[in-house]
Amino acid sequence: MQNIIIFGSTGSIGKSTLDVIRLHKDKYKVFALSANSNLELAFTQCQEFSPTFVWIKNPEHAATLKIKLNEAKIKTTVLHTEKQLAELAAHPEVQIVMSAIVGSAGLIPTYHAAKTGKRILLANKESLVAGGAIITTTVRKNNAQLIPVDSEHSAIYQALPYNYASLKEVGVNKIILTASGGPFLNTPKEQLINAMAKEAVKHPNWSMGQKISIDSATLMNKGLELIEAQWLFSAAPQELDVIIHPQSIIHSMVEYIDSSIIAQMGTPDMKTPIAYALSSPKRIASGSKNLNFVELSELTFQKPDLDRFPCLQIALDSLKNNSKNAAIINAANEMAVEKYLKNQIKFYDIPKTIEKALIKFDGELINDIDELLVFDKIIREYCLDII
């Protein structure tokens, strides 16, 4: 029996993780849960899983949750400070940490889990985008495990030999990330100028949170995944590529020097990569629907349009610079998406905001996690001003 913490338990990844755990209660015990503001769902999850701890960001929500748990006679301790969040990630009784908090807020638990040698199931891509060098160095130094949960990175992870030393050693020519293209795949640029957030969050294939849905609509999600892949797989820019695959059946591919291509396929359901992250190199049931090839109408592919989706071009340029500006891209994108969701800026104001932040902060060097958190805050404040 292994103890697991689920950071972001009320989000889509967190809920899917609990779906998988329900199938394997003999293998995994929910030690702690964390939520941002969904008080009612956090309470329901505590009722079912009786974790030792639950963390909720808002102090008022924490006080209310404590009362509700006491009334229900559930012996779960309620926490709410950032220090307590870090302490949870490093708790000595925990073996597995699901890092599924959206945005840069996921950096702290990911870092402290790495520092204490945990098995980290990484669904928070911003941890590696903003702090790639810091997180991967900390993982290696403390013999932690970093296992990707994003469907694309999980696909690559599954298509590579287990415990390989380097991509070159095992004959990898190229890593190919697939992208659905999002809801605006075929939308003309003149219409995208005035595209509303309510349209952008309607992803054709995946059930995701609002922030990730907007990133998918701008293709920044794929850009962030390219940067993340650079760190996860120690890949050079020329070893990374993106192709649009609207059906989201092939989740990503690895091309080898003998011209073989190994692709991981499946229905678009996050429970599959979650189950593999929990159990790899072994496999357990995920609860996902099996893929029926007879029912597939077609699998199509096309190049991404970098003119209509400049956020992807921004990320590609960052790769060539060893992702040194990725923290700027990440913070600026988060602030712009937040404003777009509130209908305060337009679709193409998102890449414009990122480009302005890159000009302002280009060349800044970050050496540790504390500097990174301060830098992240400064970028966000700047973006608020220019927006």
- Return binding residues: 10-13, 38, 124-126, 150-152, 180, 203, 209, 216, 221-222, 225
Q: Are 124 and 106 in contact (CB under 8 A)?
A: yes
Q: Enter the tokens of residue 296.
A: 């597939």
CA dihedral 10, 140, 220, 338 (to 10 degrees): 50
Which strands form 145-148's sheet, in the order they lie side by side? Answer: 77-79, 53-56, 28-35, 2-7, 96-99, 119-122, 145-148
Rounded Cα–Cα distance for residues 157 and 333 (Å): 27
Beta-strand pair 240-244/2-7: unpaired
Which strands form 261-265's sheet, in the order they lie side by side? Answer: 240-244, 172-179, 250-256, 261-265
Annotated binding site for Mn(2+): 150, 152, 225
For 131, residues 6+ apart whose C-beta sits below 8 A from its C-beta are 107, 110, 111, 327, 369, 372
53 vs 20, 62, 66, 106, 133, CA distance in Å? 20, 12, 11, 18, 31
Annotated binding site for 1-deoxy-D-xylulose 5-phosphate: 125, 151-152, 180, 203, 216, 221-222, 225
Q: Are 91 and 5 in contact (CB under 8 A)?
A: yes
Place of tokens 């209908």: 343
Q: What is the CA radius of gyration of the chain?
A: 20
Annotated binding site for NADPH: 10-13, 38, 124, 126, 209
| DSSP-assigned letter for residue 236 | -
